[in-house]
C-alpha cells in the first residue's frame, strides 16, 4: 500500500521519521475539500445546545435595556456622604420614580431601574440609616454600582457570529436578546462502525479470543458531543464483501468514521472494501504515536476516515482528525486542539520520529505528569487523565 500524501524527507534537524507524513500535513489534506453540510433548521432555544449557528445574531435592544442597580443599597443624589433624605423604594421590576434631586436618595434592590438624578448606588452594608435624618453613605465615584444602559451591547450590534457552536453561555445570551427560535445548520449524519471478527457487542458474554468493542461507543460519544447525528452500522466482520455492502449502505451519510482494519495485514479489508463499493481512498502513514495508519477517502456523499483499532490510537486519531472533520462539516469555527505551555514533572524518554500523545495529569502551575507510556493501550490511565 502507498500513500497519496507526500511525506517530508527525514533530516538531521527535524523530528520526523523518513516515509511518514507530518500530522498537520495529513490533517490539512483530509480537510482540503471538505465543506459544511447544506440545510438550515429552526429549533427552539431549549434544543439548540451543541448546534451550530447558521446566521449572525444581532441585538434587537440595548443590554442592559435601562440603567440598573448592581447591588442592594441606596441611589444617592450627589457625591458627598449625605445625609440623604429617602424619598422612595424601588425593587427590581417596578416602574420608575421621578428624578432624584440633590440631597435625596432612593432605596434600590439589585436589578431595579435607576431613576434620573442618581449619582451612584451605595451598598447597603456601607450605609447608616437614621429614620429622622436619612441615610449617610461613603463618598462614591460617579456611576458606582450602576450598570448603565447598553454597556454590555447595543441594539444592532452583532452578538454571535455564524459558525458558533452553541453552549450554555450562548443560550443565555440568545435568551437575553429575546431569541426564542434559532436558525442552526443541519446536523451532519455520521456512521460509526467497527471492523473485526474478534469484537463483541458490549454486554455480550466473553468468548475465547474475543474482546468487547469499546471503540464504537467512544468515537460515537466523541463526535456526538459536537452536535452530529450518529448512525450505527454495528460490528462489521472481517469479510471484504460484507464491509463493502455496509459502506455502500452508508454512502448517503455525510461521513463514515470507522476503526480497525487499516494496519495493512491480510485481515484488514476497509480500504479494499471501500474501493469495491465504488468509493475512493488511500492509506497514509502518519508521524503519530499511537495511531500511525489512517485511511482517507469517500463514497457517495460521505467522507471516510478509517482509524486504527487500538483504543488509545483510535481516541488520539479521533481527536486529531475526526473532530476537525466533523467540525468542518458542521460549519463550526472551532474544532481545533487548544494547547498550553507546561512543564513536565519528570523526564520523557522517547524515540524520535513521531509526534507522541500520552495521558497526563495536570497539576498546579501547569506541571504535567505523564501517567502512561506513549502508545500504551491501557484504559485506566485514560480514565485518570485530565490532559
Report pLDDT for 304.
95
How far is the CA of 328 from the CAs of 66, 99, 146, 334, in angstroms?
Answer: 40, 55, 43, 9
Report pLDDT for 229.
93
Q: Which cell numbers in the block locate residue 172?
A: 443565555
Q: Are 337 and 351 in contact (CB under 8 A)?
A: no
Cβ-proximal residues to 179 (8 Å cutoff; 6+ apart), any chain: 45, 57
pLDDT tens digit sequence for 151-183: 888 988 899 999 999 999 999 999 988 888 999
- Closest to 5 in 3D by CA, of 294, 342, 381: 294
How far is the CA of 214 from the CAs of 208, 217, 231, in angstroms?
Answer: 17, 6, 16
Q: Which cell numbers in the block locate residue 108?
A: 434600590
- The pTM (predicted TM-score) of the whole model is 0.81
Category of 291 on φ-ψ map: left (φ > 0), alpha (ψ -120 to 50) or beta: left
Name residues of the chain where pLDDT drops below 50. Answer: 1-4, 6-7, 9-13
Report pLDDT for 375.
60
Residues 109, 70: Cα–Cα separation, whole Å = 8
Report pLDDT for 6.
46
- Closest to 220 in 3D by CA, of 299, 331, 326, 312: 326
- The CA angle 190-243-5, to the nearest 5 degrees, is 70
Domains of the chain: 23-38+187-330 (3.40.980.10), 41-62+158-185 (3.90.105.10), 68-147 (2.170.190.11), 343-384 (no CATH)
Beta bridge partners of 53: 184
Residues 179, 42: Cα–Cα separation, whole Å = 11
Amino acid at each position: 500500500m502507498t500513500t497519496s500524501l507526500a511525506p517530508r524527507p527525514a533530516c538531521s534537524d527535524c523530528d520526523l521519521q523518513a516515509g511518514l507524513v507530518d500530522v498537520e500535513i495529513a490533517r490539512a489534506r483530509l480537510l482540503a475539500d471538505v465543506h459544511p453540510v447544506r440545510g438550515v433548521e429552526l429549533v427552539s432555544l431549549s434544543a439548540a445546545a451543541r448546534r451550530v449557528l447558521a446566521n449572525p445574531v444581532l441585538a434587537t435592544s440595548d443590554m442592559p435595556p435601562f440603567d440598573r442597580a448592581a447591588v442592594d443599597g441606596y441611589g444617592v443624589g450627589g457625591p458627598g456622604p449625605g445625609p440623604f433624605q429617602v424619598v422612595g423604594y424601588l425593587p427590581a421590576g417596578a416602574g420608575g420614580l421621578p428624578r432624584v434631586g440633590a440631597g435625596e436618595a432612593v432605596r434600590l434592590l439589585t436589578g431595579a431601574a435607576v431613576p434620573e438624578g442618581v449619582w451612584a448606588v451605595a451598598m447597603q452594608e456601607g450605609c447608616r440609616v437614621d429614620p429622622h435624618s436619612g441615610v449617610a453613605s461613603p463618598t462614591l465615584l460617579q456611576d458606582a454600582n450602576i450598570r448603565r444602559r447598553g454597556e454590555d451591547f447595543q441594539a444592532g450590534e452583532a452578538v454571535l457570529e455564524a459558525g458558533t457552536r452553541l453552549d450554555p453561555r450562548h443560550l443565555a445570551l440568545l435568551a437575553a436578546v429575546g431569541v426564542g427560535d434559532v436558525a442552526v445548520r443541519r446536523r451532519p449524519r455520521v456512521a460509526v462502525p467497527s471492523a473485526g471478527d474478534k469484537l463483541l457487542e458490549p454486554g455480550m458474554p466473553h468468548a475465547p479470543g474475543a474482546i468487547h468493542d469499546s471503540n464504537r461507543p467512544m468515537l460515537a460519544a466523541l463526535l456526538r458531543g459536537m452536535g452530529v447525528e450518529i448512525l450505527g452500522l454495528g460490528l462489521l466482520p472481517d469479510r471484504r464483501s460484507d464491509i463493502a455492502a455496509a459502506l455502500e449502505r452508508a454512502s448517503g451519510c455525510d461521513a463514515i468514521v470507522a476503526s480497525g482494519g487499516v494496519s495493512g495485514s491480510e485481515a484488514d479489508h476497509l480500504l479494499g472494501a471501500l474501493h469495491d463499493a465504488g468509493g475512493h481512498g488511500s492509506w497514509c502513514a502518519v508521524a503519530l504515536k499511537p495511531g500511525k495508519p489512517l485511511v482517507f477517502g469517500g463514497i457517495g456523499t460521505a467522507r471516510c476516515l478509517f482509524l486504527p483499532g487500538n483504543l488509545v490510537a483510535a481516541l488520539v486519531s479521533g481527536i486529531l482528525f475526526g473532530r476537525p472533520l466533523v467540525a468542518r462539516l458542521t460549519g463550526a469555527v472551532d474544532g481545533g486542539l487548544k494547547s498550553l505551555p507546561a512543564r513536565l514533572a519528570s523526564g520523557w524518554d522517547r524515540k524520535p520520529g513521531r509526534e507522541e500523545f500520552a495521558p497526563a495529569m495536570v497539576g498546579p502551575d501547569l506541571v504535567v505528569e505523564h501517567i502512561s507510556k506513549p502508545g500504551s493501550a491501557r484504559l485506566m490511565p485514560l480514565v485518570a487523565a485530565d490532559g
